[in-house]
Structure 1
Amino acid sequence: MSSDSCIFCKIVNGEIPSKKVFENEMALAFRDINPCAPQHILLIPKIHLQDLNALKDATLAGELLSLVPKIASQEGFSSYRTVINTGAESGQTVFHLHLHIIAGRNLSWPPG
């Protein structure tokens, strides 16, 4: 999928509205429109990367991972799960790298 047709790229560009919870020059975090828990935030890089396999920039990788606990703290999550799906068989439905930050209820393992 090209960045022209990517829904997350359109959110980054302001073409599609979102409920932003965090933004800086490298990343954007917003509430998932189809949450799997009471609190479900998506964290995405502002550049289009299809999935985790496409992430070659250690600086960007570090930025994304370091933002997870900052966003969780900002949102008042005392406990949370972070998920990165890579590929359709793993459950990835939007092919733009994104990290799920999920909280607000007891989360069982393995996920259903």
Structure 2
Amino acid sequence: MKRLGLLLCLVLGLTGCGGRNEFDIGITIPAGSTEAVVYADEEISPKKRSFTVSAGEGLGDTAVYLQPVEVQEENAYDEGVYLTPGMPVKIEAEKGGWFRIGVSVQNPTEEDMEVFLHVEDVKLRIE
């Protein structure tokens, strides 16, 4: 049974399956997008009262936002947290709540652009 769980972790590409979960979340910025914030399709849930996020592939300086999906507490999550490549930041959020994570990135090109956020200490579910 233990081998099956390890194999599942490897197949899904997850790291730290035994305890701390880490994920690379892709966000597609549509061609010609001028949206203020573009959110990932996946949803995350902090395992504690905060989680760590860092810039992944294709992502420069930006602001990161949380969009509540299922929360118990009435908190405002409308302010972004500034993110610089190479400098992970902690984001406070309701433990056990579910959120979509987004970035403030525009794409003036004629092709979709894929950027990634690396998140730690969260659970992940696909919308």
Higher relative contact order (CA 8 A, sep 6+): 2
Which structure's CA Rg is the greater one? 2
Q: Structure 1 length normalisation: TM-score?
A: 0.32
Higher strand share: 2
Q: Structure 2 length normalisation: TM-score?
A: 0.29
Higher helix share: 1
